[in-house]
Structure 1
């Protein structure tokens, strides 16, 4: 590379840095889901012009009309962003060429049968980048994935297809999403961003961008470190949830209140972190991320014993809930109501929710099964059948033999359960001592 070429590349890098510093960079966010949508709004809030991309034309139309599809994002915030004329939503990937920064926030699910990574959405996003990208763009992956994805699936593909050099002609980094749906305590800007680039320049540019969005960044030496940090965060939670779930099941058989045990242990000011048991592990991160690490480790012949054991315990939890619910009533035909279908309180997100597994198993075992969720009006079970949310009234509740409290939404008035006839199986410990006096109550 001659001196003139080096100078041109440096000018391109300096131009991109200047666009970031002055908020003149156009930011494209690929994927308007639970991660990309709030990130896009935060970028608008910080002064950027943002194009939110999604291949779902129905979602694009909904957002363009000012309607939020995510329960904990205020529509007024969306309408304000649209009103500024600095936010637009599009299903036309050709507009990627108008962007200076591209952030990929697409799903990274598991193949359900084999529990192996499915990077179809990332591959599709990179295809769009190859087709419509330009030189001197900063490309950041936020989707959770196994270490090596950013380099092999994005940087090396872009290099080979576009004949561009990483760190000079274009810039690529990984910064894991840390959005916590339903958690109103932490805004996007409050959550520190881990940033790891393919080259040092890539890290510096990505860090410069995120420094204008969030309050704190943590640069690391490589994209692989950043990718693995995300997997560690949620594998840690997955393993500890398995531990407390196993403790809960054993304490029940020993006639010991696991919730009292947890509260007692939590009084220790050091060396203990509180985890609560539950009916299963759901959502887009915790039940998926450990298997991205497991897959890449197993590819190298490495063992993942704790992940394997945690998977065994957590996967059995929904079935143990349905089995116990059936045992609570000694009759041939049982009717059961699940309260909450979302995987997490105060969200309208049923992805990987254990409620789907529990309902499917109950139905397979001959139980008449319904659900109530104030945020989710309709769900599709794994076997394909559709269920609609029923009213949460005393008249409706009295029709059932057992009520399973699955998701502890704050908007549910649990006092309605007082003086009702079914057994209340509380998997979330939301029924207070006051309510317990007027309930046929059992817990995990």
Structure 2
């Protein structure tokens, strides 16, 4: 690099840092889902001008009209951001050229058949960056992925296609999202950000940006470290959930109350972390992330025995729940009501929810299945059929042979289950906690 080019690059870095420090930087967030939308609003709250990008025109129209699609974000907050004139939502990717900072928050699903990473959304985002990006932009990936993605799929593609040098002409970093839907205890600004840039300058610029958004930054030496840290966080949870699920199934056969066991073990002030069993593992993180690590490890000829075993246990839980529900009914072709379709309590998020497997297993055995969820009015099954949430009343619930409590939403009035005719199969131990006594309750 000659002296003139180096000086121009240094000026570009200093200008970008100045724009961050003074909140004059325009922030583009690619993907207005459960991660990108809250991040975009947090950036607006902190004083930035923000463009929220999404290729779903229906979602863009709803957001532009002030209608939030995420339960954690009320319409009033969205409308306040729109009224500031510092937030706009668009499907026009050419507006990327106006942005100084671009944060990619797109889905990274798995191929459901083979559980192979699907990075097509990231590839599409990078295509847009190549088409519309410009010099001296900071590009940050937040989507969960396997180590090496930021470097190979983003930085090297950008450098090759745009003939720009990483760390001087443009800047790239990885900072994993850590949003927990339905958890009001931790806002975006409360959660520490791990940041790993391709170069030291990339790390410094990304850290400078996030330090204006969140209270704590943890820089690491590379994107690969940051990418793997996210995978470790959720693989840790996946493996421990498998452990407690296996314990629950075995305790049931041994006629031991697993919930009492957990409460007893949780009295130990050190060396034990409480995990609870459930009907399956859902959401877009815990049942997905371990397989991003498994894939890259297996590609290198390495073994992932714990992940494989955890997958065997966790994947079998919905089937175990459906089989046990049939056993409780004591007859074939019974009628079953499932309470809660979301993958976790107090959210309207059905992604990867175990309810789908449970429904399909039971329907495949001739059962009549309904569900009630106060946050999800309708769901689509894998066979293309649709179901609508039914009322949760004394008259309604007494029509069924078995009621499965799948998701323990706080807003549900569980006292309705008192003196109910059906057997209650409580996979969440909610009846005991909500004092819905005088009913025939069987726990997981």
TM-score bracket for the superposition, by shorter chain length: over 0.9
Contact persistence 2:414–2:431 (CA under 8 A): yes
Instruction: Determine if contact 1:106/1:122 at 8 Å carries over to the other structure.
Output: yes
> 2-side partners of 1:239 and 1:76: how far apart?
39
Gaps of 5+ in 2: none
Residue of structure 2 equivalent to 1:79: 79
The residue matched to 2:134 in structure 1 has which SS?
coil
Instruction: Report the equivalent of 1:257.
Output: 257
Cα deviation per residue 1:213-252 (whole Å; 9 max; x = unaligned)?
0000000000000000000000000000000000000000
4+ residue stretches of structure 1 with deviation over 6 A?
none
Q: Which residue of 2 aligns with 1:223?
A: 223
| Contact 2:332 2:365 survives alignment (8 Å) | no
SS in 2 for 1:432: helix
C-alpha displacement of 1:419: 1.1
Report how far residue 435 of structure 1 moved. 3.7
Q: Is the 8 A contact 2:60 2:91 kept in 1?
A: yes
Rounded to whole Å, the distance in 2 between the matches of 1:75 and 1:274 is 35
Partners in 1 of 2:333 and 2:87 — Cα distance?
54
Render the CA deviation track for 1:6-60: whole Å, top value 9, x for unaligned. 1110000000000000000000000000000000000000000000000000000
**Which residue of 2 is the match for residue 408 of structure 1?**
408
- 1:261-302 CA deviation, whole Å, 9 max, x = no partner? 000000000000000000000000000000000000000000
Residue 130 of structure 2 is matched in structure 1 by 130
Counterpart position of 1:143: 143
Is 1:320 the counterpart of 2:317? The answer is no
Answer whether contact 1:357 1:382 (CA < 8 A) is retained: no
- Alpha-carbon distance between aligned partners in 2 of 1:176 and 1:292, rounded to the nearest angstrom: 14
Task: Give TM-score, length-normalised by structure 1.
Answer: 0.99
Q: TM-score, structure 2 length as denominator?
A: 0.99
- 1:325-340 equivalence runs, <5 A: 325-340=325-340
**2:117–2:295: 8 Å Cα contact kept in structure 1?**
yes
Q: Could you tell me which residue of structure 1 aligns to residue 157 of structure 2?
A: 157
Which residue of structure 1 aligns with residue 202 of structure 2?
202
**Aligned-residue offset at 1:332:** 3.0
Which secondary structure does the structure 1 equivalent of 2:177 belong to? coil
Contact map agreement 2:282 2:354 (CA 8 A) in 1: yes
Question: How far is 1:434 from its partner?
Answer: 7.4
Whether 2:9 is the aligned partner of 1:9: answer yes
Q: Which residue of the partner structure matches residue 273 of structure 1? A: 273
- Kept in 1: contact 2:174–2:223 (CA 8 A): yes
**2:332, 2:367 within 8 Å by CA — same for their partners in 1?**
no
Q: Deviations over 1:101-122 (max 9, x none)?
A: 0000000000000001000000
Q: How many residues align?
A: 444
The residue matched to 2:110 in structure 1 has which SS?
Answer: coil
SS of residue matched to 2:329: coil
CA distance in structure 2 between the partners assigned to 1:426 and 1:49 by the alignment:
47
Mapping of residues 229-240 of structure 1, within 5 Å: 229-240=229-240
Contact 2:145 / 2:289 at 8 angstroms: preserved in 1? yes
5 Å-filtered alignment, 1:31-430, equals 31-430=31-430
